[in-house]
Chains A and B, each alone.
Chain A
Amino acid sequence: MAVEEQRDMVSVYIMGKRHLVPKGLTIQKAMEYAGYRLIRGCGCRGGFCGACGTVYRVAGDYKIKVGLACQTVVEDDMYLTQIPFYPAVKALYDIEAMSPTAEALVSTYPELMRCLQCNSCRKVCPQEIEVMQAMAAAQRGDIAKVADLTFDCLACGLCVSRCPAEMVQYNISILARRLFGRHLAPKAEHLARRLEEIEAGAFDQEIEELMSAPLERLRTAYAAREIVPEEAELVSIKTDED
C-alpha cells in the first residue's frame, strides 16, 4: 500500500482485530474494504431495514456508542461489533379481534410493566426515538402516542439488547401501531365508496375501451388529459394531542 494513501487511513478494530481503512467510509464499506463479505448485518444499505445495528467504543472513552453501519462514518481507534440478531419475544395475535387498550398491550406483552424508566433504550436508538416515553404511553394505553412516537422505528433491536427489563420495544410498538391503524384511525369513506363502484363495474367499459383503443387514439388521449391540481393543504394524520 502506498505511503501517501496511508495518511488518509484510520485504524478500526472489527471484533477486536485491527484493520487500516480509508477515512470517511461508512462502517459497512470499511468492513468490505477490510475484506469482509457480509451475509449477516447488511440489508438495505440505506438506513431503512435495521440489519446493521452496530455497537462501538472509541479508545480512551468509556461510553458505549451505537449506529447503523450503513450510515455511520468510521473514526480512528474505533472498536466495533455488529449485532445483526438479538433474540426477541413476538406474540401471536388477531389484530381485528383486539381492542386498542392498555389491557390489550399488557396482556399480550406483560413484561411491558417491568420498565424501570432507565432510558437505556433511548440512549442507543440510532433513530433517536423517544423509546422510554413510548413505553410509558403504552403502559397508560395511549396507543396513538405510541404509534406516533415509534413510527420511524427500524426494529434494529439495539434497545432490546440494552433493556434491563427484558422488553422487546419494537414488537410492542408495532402492535400499538397496528391497533391504531386498525381501530383508532378514522376510516376513509371515499375508499369504501370507490370499492362499491368497482364492484358494480362502474369503470369496466371505460377501461375496456382504453385497452382496445388504437395506439394513436391512446397517444392523443394521453397528451390531452387534464392534470388535476392538488388541494392546497397537506394535513397529516392526527395521532397526538398536539
Chain B
Amino acid sequence: MSYDQAMQESIRKVEQTRSARMKEEFPLLSAEEKKELLTTFHPDFKEGSMRPLVIGPNKGDRVPNELAALLEAPSRVQPSALDLTRPDYDVDVLVIGGGGARTAAALLAQEHGANVLIVTKLRWGDANTMMAQGGIQAADKEGDSPARHYLDVVGGGQFANIPSLVRALVTDAPSVIKWLEDLGAMLDKKVDGTMVSIHGGGTSFPRMHSARDYSGMEIMRTIRDEARNRSIPCLEFKPAVELILDDQGQCAGAVLFDLETEEFSIVRAKTTIIATGGMGRLHVQGFPTTNHYGATADGLVMAYRAGAKLLYMDTVQYHPTGVAYPEQIVGQLVTEKVRGLGAQLVNAEGHRFVFELETRDAVSAAIIRECVQRNLGVTTPTGMRGVWLDSPMIDILRGPGTIQKALPAMYRQYKRFGIDMSQEPILVYPTQHYQNGGVAINEWGETEIPNLFVAGEASGGVHGRNRLMGNSLLDILVFGRRAGIRAALKAKEVTLGKLSLDHVEKHNAAVASIKEPHADFAPMLLPDYAEAHTKQRRLGGVVTV
C-alpha cells in the first residue's frame, strides 16, 4: 500500500529540496499575520458552521451545529419512571469518566478519606488519555520557570484563559511529574536522571516530557494500575446519562444506563466529578477525528441541563497533522512530537509554507490555505488532499534509528500499511482533535452548581481559545487531582436533600417547543457508523438502492 505514481513524483521534489530546506530559517508569523490567517482559513470561522443556542445558561452563544443538536435534544431518561428514593449506590464521591482525569480524581479522593465510586461508558482507560502521544509540559528545568510556562499558555490561548486556572496548571506541573515518577511511570530520562524534554508548538522552552510516543498510554496504565491496587470500585459499560440534583439545587449524583442490559440505575453521591472528556466524535463540519470512540460530549450535555455554564464552545482545536493517507487510518493522529523532533511541513512542490511550531490553530489554518487556496496540496487516490510532513529529516538530524526509538507507535502505524516513515515523508491534513472550551470551573474544579466538579477536557477556561501541545495530559492530572481532593473534603460537610430530576423535566419541556434541528435524544453515548441503507433497514424501511 505504498504511494501511487503522482504522489511519488511529488516525493522526489520533497527530496530534492531537503538539504537546502534543512538550513532554512522560516519566520514566525506576526500577531497581525496570524489573525488574518486564522480568520480566513481556520474552520471555526466557516460560515454556517455554528448556531446560537436557544435554551439554557448559554442562550444566544454560538456553538458548532453538531453540539447544539445535542445540547438541545431531549433526555434519554423519563424522570417519572425512576424511583429516586431508593438509590442503587450511595457514596461520598462519584467520578464519571474513563480516562486520566477521572483516575487521578478517584485516587486523590480516596486518599483524602472518601468512599469513591467510578462509572464509565466503556472500559477503564478507554479515553483520549490513552491516545495522547507527544507528551506533557512542566517547567522543571534550570532556565525555565512556571511563569514562563504561564506566558506560553496564555499567548497560545489568545489571552482568553482564566488566570487562576493557568496559575494552577503551571504551578502544579512539576509536582504532577514527581507524582508520576513516584508511581513508576517510565518517563524518558537521560542516564543521570535528567528528563528528556523537547519543544512543542508555541513553547518558549523545551519542556515537553514524554514516554517515547506512548506518553498518554504510559500515564494511563500506571495510574490505573495504582487505582486497581487500591481497590477503587469501577462500573464499566455503565455511563451516566443525567445528573441528579436535590431540592436545594445541589448536585446529588447521577442516573446510569447500562449499555449491555439497558437498565437504568441511581447513584446518590455527596459530590460528583465529571471527567468525561471532549467531543471529537461529533465530527464537527464533517472532519475526521483523532479522538476516542466515546468522545461524544456527554459531560457537557449533562452539566448544561443541570444549569452549568459553558465557556468558549465556539472554538474547536484541529490538530494540524492528522493522517491524510492511507485511507484506512485517515484522521488519526500524527503526534506533534514529529515536528518537535525536526520534521518540516512542505507542499506538493517541496516548499515550506509555515514555521512548524506555530500554535496548532495557525499551523492548521496554514495547511488548509496551502491546499484550498493555493492549490499546492497533494491529492490521494481517494481524492483526499494533504501536505507532506518530511519525517526522514528526523533521522538525518538526530541520527539513524531516532524514529524507531522515539516514535515507535508512529513508525508501527505506518509500517502496518507499507510505509516506512524514516525513508518516505507522510501525508497529513488537519483533523478534529480537542475541545478548547467546556464547563466553567474554578481552580479546584468546582462549577457554579454546588457539589458538582468538572476536570479535564470537559472543563473550559484553562486553555483559553487554543490549547498548546502537552498541556492536556497536564490539565487532566492537575485538575483531576485538585477536584479529587476538594470533592473528598467537601463530601464530609454536605447534607443532601430530596433527590430530583425536575431540571430534566424542564429541559424536555423546553426542547419540545424549539424549532432548531436537534438529535432524537442526548447524550449520544456512542456514534453510529452504520451505512445509510442499514439505518433505513433498521427502521423497516424499503431499500431502493
Contacts and interface: CB of A to CB of B under 8 A. Distances in A.
Contacts of A38: 293, 526
B170 A235 contact: no
Contacts of B405: 236
Interface in A186-229: 186-192, 194-195, 198, 203, 206-207, 210-212, 215, 218-219, 221-223, 225-229
Contact of A190 (B142, B225, B328, B538): B142
Given A44-B130, A44-B131, A191-B181, A39 B192 contact: no
Nearest to A184: B184
B259 A39 contact: yes
B177 interface: yes
A60 interface: no
B168 to A, nearest CB: 10
A178 B184 contact: yes
B172 to A, nearest CB: 9
Given A95-B183, A186-B193, A188-B189, A221 B171 contact: no
A33 B531 contact: yes
Contacts of A188: 140, 177, 181, 189, 193-195
25 contacts: A35-B530, A38-B293, A39-B259, A42-B293, A46-B329, A47-B416, A48-B131, A48-B216, A49-B125, A72-B416, A95-B184, A151-B186, A151-B214, A154-B217, A174-B222, A178-B225, A181-B184, A188-B195, A191-B181, A198-B171, A207-B146, A211-B167, A218-B154, A230-B198, A234-B398
A123 interface: no
Given A26-B328, A190-B142, A211-B163, A48 B175 contact: no
Contact of A228 (B125, B126, B195, B204): B204
Given A1-B545, A92-B231, A236-B406, A39 B526 contact: yes
A132 B278 CA distance: 39
B151 A187 contact: no
Contact of B214 (A48, A90, A215): A48
Given A43-B123, A45-B293, A225-B148, A236 B174 contact: no
A181 B195 CA distance: 13
Given A48-B214, A177-B186, A234 B198 contact: yes
Given A177-B184, A185-B193, A236-B212, A44 B545 contact: no
B413 A152 contact: no
A128 B404 CA distance: 14
Interface of A: 1-2, 24-26, 29, 32-33, 35, 37-40, 42-49, 51, 71-73, 90, 92-96, 127-128, 147, 151-152, 154-155, 174, 177-183, 185-192, 194-195, 198, 203, 206-207, 210-212, 215, 218-219, 221-223, 225-231, 234-239
A40 B237 CA distance: 9
A44 B174 contact: no
A195 B178 contact: yes
A207 B171 contact: yes
Contacts of A191: 140, 174, 177-178, 181, 195
B31 interface: yes
Contact of B292 (A35, A43, A147, A215): A43
Interface of B: 31, 122-123, 125-126, 128, 130-131, 139-148, 150-152, 154-155, 159, 163-164, 166-167, 170-171, 174-175, 177-178, 181-196, 198-199, 204-206, 212, 214, 216-218, 221-222, 225-226, 228-229, 231, 237, 259-260, 290, 292-293, 327-329, 332-333, 341, 398, 402, 405-406, 408-409, 412-413, 416, 526, 528-531, 534, 537-538, 545
Given A51-B122, A191-B178, A210-B147, A73 B184 contact: no
Nearest to A192: B178
A93 to B, nearest CB: 6
Given A92-B229, A178-B183, A238-B191, 8 more contacts: A1-B545, A35-B538, A38-B526, A39-B260, A47-B409, A92-B228, A185-B186, A225-B152
Contacts of A51: 122-123, 126
A208 B141 CA distance: 21
B190 A235 contact: yes
Contacts of A239: 186
Query: Which 8 A-B pairs give the minimum distances between C-beta atoms?
Result: A186-B193, A178-B184, A182-B184, A181-B184, A222-B155, A206-B147, A211-B163, A230-B206
A195 B416 contact: no
B206 A228 contact: yes
A237 B171 contact: no
A17 to B, nearest CB: 15
A181 B212 CA distance: 14
Contacts of B222: 174, 177-178, 181
B341 A234 contact: yes
A182 B217 contact: no
B196 A234 contact: yes
A226 B204 contact: yes
Contacts of B184: 95, 177-183
A140 B534 CA distance: 55
Contacts of B151: 210, 218, 221-222, 225
Given A32-B530, A186-B191, A181 B185 contact: yes
B484 to A, nearest CB: 19
Nearest to A47: B413
B18 to A, nearest CB: 20
B406 A234 contact: yes
B515 to A, nearest CB: 30
B212 A151 contact: yes
A226 B204 CA distance: 7
A203 B131 contact: no
Contacts of A185: 181, 186, 189, 193
A43 B121 CA distance: 11
